[in-house]
Amino acid sequence: MYLIRKKTVLNPTIFMMDIVAPRVARYCQPGQFVIVRVDADGERIPLTICDYDRDEGTVTIAVQTMGASTYKLMDLNEGDHVHDFAGPLGRPSDLVTDDIGEVRKKKILFVAGGLGTAPVYPQVKWLHEHGIEADVIVGAKTKDLVILEDEMRAVCGNLYITTDDGSYGRKGLVTEVISDLVEKEGKHYDLCVSIGPTIMMKFCVLTTKKYNIPTIVSMNPIMVGGTGMCGACRLTVGDEVKFACIDGPEFDGFLVNFDEAIERMKLYRTEEGRALLEYREGTTHHGGCGNCGGDR
């Protein structure tokens, strides 16, 4: 059982929790995720790590209510417990594992959409702690859905907020801000990291390609089981089959087949669709270890 030390409601559909999980906090890195189960019979929920405190032994998660399991999690309060909190899982961001001297040479732009602001934050914070100031674009549908603004502003170089309806910051899409920064403000970037809804990341990549800005995307939105056994997050990267949960969640955005991933996730939502995908994909449907039954 894992104690909920702090709960913060950011808006009617998004909340954050600090979970006491010392072993996860000791080893986790920006870009990784955890799997949470509310109770012994609960659904496995893969959630990207939003922050961590190694001294306090806590890990922060940000959750958007969508299905029954996330609503059950939201009903819990400080002092309550979650049954399972497994991690860290997935691969850390390349920015954390690459040579720090080479990372310092890069001008980096982060593009966050909606809840994607949460996994962007620890990466920007890590860079800030190592003397690297990145620019950040945060996009949301409306002002009330902008999250972590103060926290992000404290660790980034420049923060650009845009809302679809123009209720806060600039009016428009994150892709328009990218174009404005490059074309109107003369900004140069060596790397872009985009995290948010899959469709947003697709169009972000289409935009950065025009400016020849290498782009990393996080495919955590398509994860379901989190261990490669369900086959949900199977995707094509270049000419290879990958699984977001065990090979990622971050990939070269220029190589990700977004159209396939989006259509595949629509099909995966139904039992009939899952059966069809398993039939079509055969032995490549699962990314399991081969010993747990995930590949059968």
Query: What value does the mean pLDDT of the chain take?
Result: 87
Q: How many residues does the chain have?
A: 296
The predicted-structure confidence for 41-75, as pLDDT tens digits, reads as follows 888 888 889 999 999 999 999 988 888 888 888 88
Domains for the chain: give ranges and CATH numbers.
Answer: 2-89 (2.40.30.10), 94-218 (3.40.50.80)
The predicted-structure confidence for 115-160, as pLDDT tens digits, reads as follows 899 999 999 999 999 999 999 999 999 998 898 999 999 999 999 9
pTM: 0.86
The first and second tokens of residue 74, run together, are: 């939201």
36, with CB counted inside 10 A (0-12, 13-18, 19+), is buried
Strand runs labelled E in 99-189: 108-113, 135-140, 159-163, 170-171
